[in-house]
Amino acid sequence: MKKLLIANWKMHYGPIKAGAWIRAFRRERLPKELDIAVAVPFVSLAAARSSLGRASIPALAAQDVFWNEEGAFTGEISPGMLLEFGTEYCIVGHSERRQYLGETDEMVSKKAAAAQRSGISPVICVGETKIQRARGEASKTVRSQITAAVSQSKSEGKAPLVIAYEPLWAIGSGKSCSPQDTKEMHTIIRSVLEKKLGKAASAVRILYGGSVDVRNVAEYMTTTGVDGALIGGASLDPRNFGLLCRAALPA
Protein backbone atom coordinates (compact mmCIF):
# COMPACT_ATOMS: atom_id res chain seq x y z
CA MET A 1 0.00 0.00 0.00
CA LYS A 2 1.41 3.39 -0.98
CA LYS A 3 1.67 5.95 1.79
CA LEU A 4 -0.71 8.89 1.46
CA LEU A 5 -0.08 12.55 2.25
CA ILE A 6 -3.07 14.88 2.27
CA ALA A 7 -2.71 18.65 2.45
CA ASN A 8 -5.60 20.14 4.42
CA TRP A 9 -5.87 23.83 3.64
CA LYS A 10 -8.83 24.25 5.99
CA MET A 11 -10.45 27.68 5.42
CA HIS A 12 -7.69 29.07 3.25
CA TYR A 13 -7.53 29.93 -0.43
CA GLY A 14 -10.44 30.88 -2.62
CA PRO A 15 -10.35 30.05 -6.32
CA ILE A 16 -7.63 32.54 -7.31
CA LYS A 17 -5.10 31.46 -4.71
CA ALA A 18 -6.07 27.81 -5.06
CA GLY A 19 -5.24 27.87 -8.77
CA ALA A 20 -1.89 29.51 -8.06
CA TRP A 21 -1.09 26.94 -5.33
CA ILE A 22 -1.78 24.03 -7.67
CA ARG A 23 0.31 25.52 -10.47
CA ALA A 24 3.23 26.12 -8.11
CA PHE A 25 2.95 22.66 -6.55
CA ARG A 26 2.89 21.03 -9.99
CA ARG A 27 6.41 22.38 -10.52
CA GLU A 28 7.71 20.47 -7.48
CA ARG A 29 9.61 17.23 -7.88
CA LEU A 30 7.47 14.60 -6.14
CA PRO A 31 8.28 11.04 -5.07
CA LYS A 32 6.38 8.53 -7.21
CA GLU A 33 6.08 6.12 -4.29
CA LEU A 34 3.65 8.47 -2.54
CA ASP A 35 -0.03 9.18 -3.08
CA ILE A 36 -0.58 12.91 -2.63
CA ALA A 37 -3.88 14.76 -2.31
CA VAL A 38 -4.99 18.27 -1.48
CA ALA A 39 -8.19 19.06 0.43
CA VAL A 40 -9.49 22.41 -0.77
CA PRO A 41 -12.56 24.47 0.18
CA PHE A 42 -15.65 23.63 -1.90
CA VAL A 43 -15.55 26.95 -3.72
CA SER A 44 -12.01 26.26 -4.90
CA LEU A 45 -12.58 22.80 -6.36
CA ALA A 46 -13.33 24.12 -9.84
CA ALA A 47 -10.23 26.31 -9.94
CA ALA A 48 -8.06 23.52 -8.57
CA ARG A 49 -9.43 21.13 -11.19
CA SER A 50 -8.88 23.58 -14.00
CA SER A 51 -5.28 24.24 -12.92
CA LEU A 52 -4.73 20.49 -12.75
CA GLY A 53 -6.33 19.72 -16.09
CA ARG A 54 -6.20 15.99 -16.53
CA ALA A 55 -3.30 15.55 -14.17
CA SER A 56 -4.07 13.43 -11.15
CA ILE A 57 -1.27 14.56 -8.88
CA PRO A 58 -2.16 15.93 -6.49
CA ALA A 59 -5.52 14.16 -6.24
CA LEU A 60 -8.39 16.41 -5.20
CA ALA A 61 -10.08 16.10 -1.85
CA ALA A 62 -12.99 17.97 -0.31
CA GLN A 63 -13.14 18.95 3.35
CA ASP A 64 -16.70 17.80 4.01
CA VAL A 65 -19.72 16.25 2.30
CA PHE A 66 -23.43 15.74 2.98
CA TRP A 67 -25.08 12.33 3.17
CA ASN A 68 -27.92 12.85 0.70
CA GLU A 69 -27.52 13.10 -3.04
CA GLU A 70 -29.93 16.01 -3.51
CA GLY A 71 -32.89 17.75 -1.94
CA ALA A 72 -33.86 20.46 0.50
CA PHE A 73 -30.59 20.73 2.44
CA THR A 74 -29.63 24.37 2.14
CA GLY A 75 -25.91 24.98 2.04
CA GLU A 76 -24.91 21.34 1.73
CA ILE A 77 -22.83 19.63 -0.96
CA SER A 78 -23.45 16.07 -2.12
CA PRO A 79 -20.99 13.35 -3.11
CA GLY A 80 -22.24 13.54 -6.70
CA MET A 81 -21.41 17.25 -6.85
CA LEU A 82 -17.88 16.51 -5.63
CA LEU A 83 -17.47 13.83 -8.25
CA GLU A 84 -18.03 16.40 -10.99
CA PHE A 85 -14.60 17.80 -10.11
CA GLY A 86 -12.95 14.39 -10.05
CA THR A 87 -12.72 14.50 -6.26
CA GLU A 88 -11.12 11.30 -4.97
CA TYR A 89 -11.12 11.87 -1.22
CA CYS A 90 -13.25 13.72 1.26
CA ILE A 91 -12.38 14.57 4.85
CA VAL A 92 -15.23 13.79 7.23
CA GLY A 93 -15.57 14.53 10.92
CA HIS A 94 -12.56 16.79 11.25
CA SER A 95 -12.30 17.83 14.89
CA GLU A 96 -12.84 21.48 13.92
CA ARG A 97 -16.23 20.55 12.46
CA ARG A 98 -17.07 18.42 15.47
CA GLN A 99 -16.09 21.32 17.73
CA TYR A 100 -17.47 24.38 15.92
CA LEU A 101 -20.37 22.87 14.00
CA GLY A 102 -21.53 20.16 16.35
CA GLU A 103 -20.87 17.20 14.07
CA THR A 104 -21.66 13.97 15.85
CA ASP A 105 -20.38 10.43 15.36
CA GLU A 106 -23.73 9.59 13.77
CA MET A 107 -23.35 12.39 11.19
CA VAL A 108 -19.77 11.37 10.51
CA SER A 109 -20.81 7.81 9.87
CA LYS A 110 -23.57 8.86 7.44
CA LYS A 111 -21.18 11.15 5.59
CA ALA A 112 -18.51 8.48 5.34
CA ALA A 113 -20.95 5.89 4.01
CA ALA A 114 -22.42 8.31 1.45
CA ALA A 115 -19.01 9.31 0.16
CA GLN A 116 -17.98 5.69 -0.18
CA ARG A 117 -21.16 4.71 -2.02
CA SER A 118 -20.32 7.35 -4.61
CA GLY A 119 -16.76 6.17 -5.02
CA ILE A 120 -15.10 8.86 -2.93
CA SER A 121 -12.74 7.68 -0.19
CA PRO A 122 -13.79 9.21 3.12
CA VAL A 123 -10.94 10.39 5.33
CA ILE A 124 -12.49 9.90 8.76
CA CYS A 125 -10.85 12.00 11.47
CA VAL A 126 -10.71 10.81 15.05
CA GLY A 127 -8.72 11.86 18.08
CA GLU A 128 -8.84 12.60 21.76
CA THR A 129 -8.68 15.92 23.59
CA LYS A 130 -5.88 16.89 25.94
CA ILE A 131 -8.08 16.19 28.96
CA GLN A 132 -9.10 12.78 27.67
CA ARG A 133 -5.43 11.86 27.19
CA ALA A 134 -4.52 13.14 30.65
CA ARG A 135 -7.30 11.00 32.14
CA GLY A 136 -6.06 7.90 30.32
CA GLU A 137 -9.12 7.90 28.05
CA ALA A 138 -7.41 8.35 24.69
CA SER A 139 -7.88 4.81 23.51
CA LYS A 140 -11.46 4.53 24.76
CA THR A 141 -12.38 7.77 22.97
CA VAL A 142 -10.83 6.80 19.68
CA ARG A 143 -12.20 3.26 19.80
CA SER A 144 -15.72 4.57 20.17
CA GLN A 145 -15.28 7.21 17.44
CA ILE A 146 -13.99 4.60 14.99
CA THR A 147 -16.67 2.07 15.87
CA ALA A 148 -19.38 4.66 15.24
CA ALA A 149 -17.80 6.11 12.12
CA VAL A 150 -17.41 2.83 10.26
CA SER A 151 -20.75 1.39 11.36
CA GLN A 152 -22.34 2.11 7.97
CA SER A 153 -19.25 1.72 5.80
CA LYS A 154 -17.82 -1.01 3.70
CA SER A 155 -14.21 -1.15 2.98
CA GLU A 156 -14.30 -3.03 -0.28
CA GLY A 157 -14.61 -1.50 -3.67
CA LYS A 158 -13.00 1.39 -5.37
CA ALA A 159 -13.12 3.83 -2.49
CA PRO A 160 -11.49 2.35 0.57
CA LEU A 161 -11.76 4.17 3.83
CA VAL A 162 -8.95 6.29 5.16
CA ILE A 163 -8.65 7.06 8.87
CA ALA A 164 -6.77 10.07 10.20
CA TYR A 165 -5.73 9.88 13.81
CA GLU A 166 -5.47 13.50 14.91
CA PRO A 167 -5.15 14.10 18.64
CA LEU A 168 -6.81 17.47 19.19
CA TRP A 169 -4.01 18.80 21.34
CA ALA A 170 -1.54 18.19 18.51
CA ILE A 171 -3.47 20.09 15.84
CA GLY A 172 -1.89 23.43 14.98
CA SER A 173 -0.07 23.44 18.31
CA GLY A 174 3.46 22.54 17.30
CA LYS A 175 3.20 19.69 19.84
CA SER A 176 3.05 16.56 17.74
CA CYS A 177 2.22 13.18 19.23
CA SER A 178 5.27 11.09 20.11
CA PRO A 179 6.01 8.24 17.68
CA GLN A 180 5.50 5.76 20.53
CA ASP A 181 2.02 7.08 21.37
CA THR A 182 1.19 7.34 17.69
CA LYS A 183 2.18 3.73 17.14
CA GLU A 184 0.07 2.65 20.08
CA MET A 185 -3.02 4.52 18.86
CA HIS A 186 -2.62 3.28 15.29
CA THR A 187 -2.39 -0.28 16.56
CA ILE A 188 -5.63 0.19 18.49
CA ILE A 189 -7.35 1.71 15.44
CA ARG A 190 -6.16 -1.14 13.22
CA SER A 191 -7.52 -3.72 15.64
CA VAL A 192 -10.94 -2.03 15.82
CA LEU A 193 -11.05 -1.90 12.01
CA GLU A 194 -10.19 -5.59 11.78
CA LYS A 195 -12.95 -6.43 14.18
CA LYS A 196 -15.51 -4.28 12.38
CA LEU A 197 -14.50 -4.78 8.75
CA GLY A 198 -12.75 -8.13 8.70
CA LYS A 199 -10.36 -8.69 5.82
CA ALA A 200 -11.40 -5.44 4.19
CA ALA A 201 -9.57 -3.59 6.97
CA SER A 202 -6.30 -4.29 5.21
CA ALA A 203 -7.23 -1.77 2.47
CA VAL A 204 -7.66 1.04 5.01
CA ARG A 205 -4.83 3.52 5.39
CA ILE A 206 -4.38 5.07 8.82
CA LEU A 207 -2.82 8.54 8.68
CA TYR A 208 -1.40 10.61 11.49
CA GLY A 209 -2.25 14.31 11.70
CA GLY A 210 -1.27 17.08 14.09
CA SER A 211 1.69 19.42 13.66
CA VAL A 212 3.36 17.33 10.97
CA ASP A 213 6.06 19.38 9.28
CA VAL A 214 9.16 19.06 7.12
CA ARG A 215 11.31 18.15 10.12
CA ASN A 216 9.21 15.39 11.64
CA VAL A 217 7.40 13.86 8.66
CA ALA A 218 10.04 11.18 7.98
CA GLU A 219 9.82 9.97 11.56
CA TYR A 220 6.06 9.47 11.27
CA MET A 221 6.34 7.76 7.94
CA THR A 222 8.70 5.21 9.44
CA THR A 223 6.59 4.68 12.56
CA THR A 224 4.95 1.25 12.56
CA GLY A 225 1.30 1.44 11.60
CA VAL A 226 1.45 4.92 10.06
CA ASP A 227 0.31 4.86 6.43
CA GLY A 228 0.63 8.57 5.75
CA ALA A 229 -0.21 11.99 7.14
CA LEU A 230 -2.82 14.75 7.09
CA ILE A 231 -1.06 18.09 7.06
CA GLY A 232 -2.60 21.45 7.85
CA GLY A 233 -0.33 24.43 8.48
CA ALA A 234 2.71 22.97 6.73
CA SER A 235 0.75 22.53 3.50
CA LEU A 236 -0.21 26.15 2.95
CA ASP A 237 2.93 27.01 1.04
CA PRO A 238 3.19 24.83 -2.08
CA ARG A 239 6.99 24.79 -2.06
CA ASN A 240 7.10 23.88 1.59
CA PHE A 241 4.59 21.10 0.98
CA GLY A 242 6.72 19.86 -1.93
CA LEU A 243 9.70 19.81 0.39
CA LEU A 244 7.65 17.92 2.95
CA CYS A 245 6.64 15.31 0.35
CA ARG A 246 10.30 14.77 -0.53
CA ALA A 247 11.30 14.64 3.14
CA ALA A 248 8.61 12.04 3.79
CA LEU A 249 10.46 9.40 1.87
CA PRO A 250 14.14 10.20 2.01
CA ALA A 251 16.13 8.37 -0.63
Q: Is 157 in the site for ligand PGA (CB under 6 A)?
A: no
* Beta carbon nearer to ligand PGA, 90 or 230: 230
Residue of 231, 244, 245, 248 that binds ligand PGA (CB under 6 A): 231
Q: Is 123 in the site for ligand PGA (CB under 6 A)?
A: no
Catalytic residue, chosen from 88, 103, 166, 186, is 166
**How many residues are given for the chain?**
251
Q: Does 64 interact with ligand PGA (rule: CB under 6 A)?
A: no
Residue range at the interface with ligand PGA (CB under 6 A); choices 17-25, 71-79, 128-136, 203-211: 203-211
Interface with ligand PGA includes 109 (CB under 6 A)? no
Question: Which of these is catalytic: 28, 88, 94, 103?
Answer: 94
Supply the minimum distance, in Å, between the C-beta of residue 235 and ligand PGA. 7
Residue closer to ligand PGA, measured from CB, 8 or 87: 8
| Annotation says 166 is catalytic | yes
Give me the phi and psi of 206, to 5 degrees please.
Answer: -110, 110
Among residues 41, 58, 79, 209, which is the contact residue for ligand PGA, using CB under 6 A? 209
| Beta carbon nearer to ligand PGA, 115 or 197 | 115
Among 230, 244, 245, 248, binds ligand PGA (CB under 6 A): 230
Between residues 197 and 206, which has the closer beta carbon with respect to ligand PGA? 206
What is the SS3 string spanning the chain? CCEEEEEECCCCCCHHHHHHHHHHHHCCCCCCCEEEEEECCHHHHHHHHHHHCCCCCCEEEECCCCCCCCCCCCCCCCHHHHHCCCEEEEEECCHHHHHHHCCCHHHHHHHHHHHHHHCCEEEEEECCCHHHHHCCCHHHHHHHHHHHHCCCCCCCCCCCCEEEECCHHHCCCCCCCCHHHHHHHHHHHHHHHHHHHHHHHHHCEEEEECCCCCCCHHHHHCCCCCCEEEECHHHCCHHHHHHHHHHHCCC
Q: Which residues bind ligand PGA (CB under 6 A)?
A: 8, 166, 171-172, 209-212, 230-234
Annotated active-site positions, please? 94, 166
